[in-house]
Each structure stands twice: as structure tokens, then as C-alpha cells.
Chain A
Amino acid sequence: MIRLSNVKAEIGEELLFIISELEFNNDKSYLLTGDNGTGKSSLLKAFIGEFPYITGDIKVDGEVIYQPQDPYLYQKKGKDNFALFNIELTSIENELAALEMFEMLDKPVDVLSGGQRQKIAFLRSISLAQDILLLDEPFSQMDDFSTYYCLNLSKKWLQEKKRRLLIIISHDPLEKATFDAVIKITDKRLIKIQ
């Protein structure tokens, strides 16, 4: 669960957004949307204490795994990104097969396409996440099949265990109906539109 109270984000004189009270509840999935530069990524960064231009009370209850908009892939090969976090490839072999990822695991990360990089980053994040999973535009460069497969995988992750929370930022329409709530940042405020 993440609770925001009297939160204000401003960079210098520029106000990004104000939130009086807002709760992201456990066992729910949230789609966070809004125009460019409205502060969606900044809000997620604030949840892990990496956005210094914010004041107010942010209470995060649970262990957070956060995937930034440009996730970093560690050297040298795709599979090293799982080994670094002690993620056994056998535990995700169905997902690797469905996303046709076996070949890219042995390739150096420098030669992977944007979509391939996102697949590795996403599987790495979801394999590690226990309580709260924050994803900033995780599917923006994936093909349609991979996007919806990963989207379903994240929903499955949410339902696998109690007291989990999923927040995804996206500009794509995705399947808005499949989210428990859609929150939009507009006119410097967060509005629940679904």
C-alpha cells in the first residue's frame, strides 16, 4: 500500500502536481497516465525516494521493485541480468519461451533491440518483486503480442499472492478495463478516471 498526504511536487518555481490525499491499495492494479511532463515518472521515483523536489507525506508499506523508463541492462549478456539477482532461469523458462527470449540471453546487451531490452528488464523486475511493483512505460517498445503477454503476466503476479500492488505508467491505451483503477495527472492534479 502507498499512501500520499499533502504531497506537492515543484521544480524551482514550476509546480508539477498537488495531491491532497490518495491511496494506492493492496491487491489492486493501477494505470497511471497523463500528458508528457506532467510528473508521472517523478511520482514513481518519489515512491523510492529518488525525486528530491517533493514535499508532503509518502508512506510506502512493503518492499518496492521499481523499473525506470530507461531500464539499465548490466554487462555483459542478457542472462547476466538474471544471475546478478540470483534469478534462476529455470524458474521463468515458460515466460522466456513465450517471449522467444532464449537466444537473446546469450547475446551481449549492447546489441539487443529496444523491445528485447524491455523484455529482459520486465522479466527481471517481475521475478524479483514481492510486494509492490512500479513500472514506468515498461512495454513502450515491445510488439503487440509481447505487450499483452507481459501485461497479463503482471496481472497474474498481482493475483498470485495477497497484499501486492501494481502501478504501471503508460501512454498506450493498453487494456484500461483490466486495471482496477486508471489515474490521470491533469491540470496538476491526480484524478481517478476509472
Chain B
Amino acid sequence: MNEITNIVILTLRICFMSTILSSLIAIPIGLLLGLFENRLNKFLRPLFTAFTGIPPVIAGVVVYLLYSNVGIFGKLKWLYTTKTIVIAQMIIVIPIIASHVFPAVDPIRKDFWLTSIGMGLSKTKMLVQLTREIAASILAAVIAGFGRAIAEVGAVMIVGGNIRFKTRVITSAIVLETNKGNYQMALRLGIVLIIISLAISFIAMYLSKGARRDSIK
């Protein structure tokens, strides 16, 4: 397997993993933040939105400190592995997905809530049903999260160490090859990154159109 293929496969593996894990956490958080109108949620909503703008290098430094030898998780020896890259990406992606989900509940919250409570629907069933109601928005949120993960470079380099065949992803490889003056390789990787990003965007558009088409059929 040549180096570019290895980098692309590793990048996709890491980004899919971090997006899936982030979605499992962020979607329920987004639904809870969107559905329940209380003081805590009124405080948490702007907080999550603010965290979407967190500089990724800060997430990288935090994860680095936690997993370095002197950090509280140092014994795990996860630093400079794909695990810490996934964790750093999750810190960045979770607020992005959650803050895309809860505004999607806004337009339907009042009527959905009153009807569901009035019909005796349990809170669990309400949350499951709410996922169906805003499925297209949730899909868009997940895609936005994946896009953010695959474009990430600062945090990935700090916690991954950019180790060849181990933690070198497309973005960190582009930085390295550019610094080395190997612009041909950097451009090749850049083109691959653009193709992946565009493919993800088109798939997202196709799926969300499909979701909308389903609801209008």
C-alpha cells in the first residue's frame, strides 16, 4: 500500500470513528437541549454554541496534558496514538453537532411538546420520535461534524505526533510535506482532501433531499 493510500485510509478511519462517537453523545444532548425548556438548558445552549468556536489547538493541548506521562490518563499510554486524535476531534465535533441539532427543535418544540404530553407519550418515546421529526437536520449536523473532523490539523498534530503510518493524517501530512518543500505530494494530498470533502457534502445533500422527499411523498 503506498503512503497516500495509507494516509487516506487512516484519516477516514479516525474521522468516521470520532464522528460516530461524537454523534452518539451530541445528538441526545442536542435533543435534550432542544426539547426541554428550563433554566439549565437556557444556560447550556449558548455555552455549546460558544464551544463551536473553540480553537482546535486548545483542545489538542488539553488532551495532550491529560494523556502525557504527567497527566491523569498518562498511564494509559495513549498519547501519539489514533485514540487521542479521536478524543481531540470529539472535543471539537461534539459542540458542533449538538449546536446544529437543538435549533432544529425550535420551530416544532411547543406544539410537539404539548401534543406529546397531552397524548401521554413517555419522555423516552418523545425523544425517539423527535429524532424522526428532525432526521434531515440531524444528518446535516453529523456531516458538518465530519467535515470539521477531517479538516482538523492543529490538535491532530499535537496529540498524534504526525508519526508515519501510525498517526499521520491528510492534513498533518500536507503541513509536513509543505514544510519539507515537497509541494507535489502536498498538492496530491490536498486534492484528495478536497475530493473527500466534496463527496461528503454531495452525499449529505443527496441524503437530506431524500429525507425531505420522503416526508413529502
Contacts and interface: CB of A to CB of B under 8 A. Distances in A.
Interface in A16-70: 45, 48, 50, 63-68, 70
B41 interface: no
30 contacts: A50-B114, A63-B120, A64-B120, A65-B118, A65-B119, A66-B117, A66-B118, A66-B119, A67-B115, A67-B118, A68-B115, A70-B111, A71-B111, A71-B115, A72-B108, A72-B111, A72-B114, A72-B115, A72-B116, A74-B129, A74-B132, A75-B215, A84-B121, A84-B125, A110-B216, A124-B119, A125-B118, A125-B119, A128-B119, A134-B118
A161 B191 CA distance: 71
Interface residues of B, number: 20
Interface of B: 108, 111-112, 114-121, 125, 129, 132-133, 135, 214-217
Nearest to B216: A108
A85 interface: yes
Interface string A160-191: 00000000000000000000000000000000
Contacts of A68: 111, 114-115, 118
Please give me the 5 A-B residue pairs with the lowest Cβ-Cβ distance, nearest first: A66-B118, A72-B115, A72-B111, A68-B114, A72-B112
Given A68-B111, A110-B215, A48 B118 contact: yes
B215 A128 contact: no
B118 to A, nearest CB: 3
Interface of A: 45, 48, 50, 63-68, 70-72, 74-76, 84-85, 108, 110-111, 121, 124-125, 128, 134
Contacts of A45: 114
Nearest to A73: B115
B215 A84 contact: no
Contacts of B112: 72
B105 to A, nearest CB: 12
A45 B132 CA distance: 26
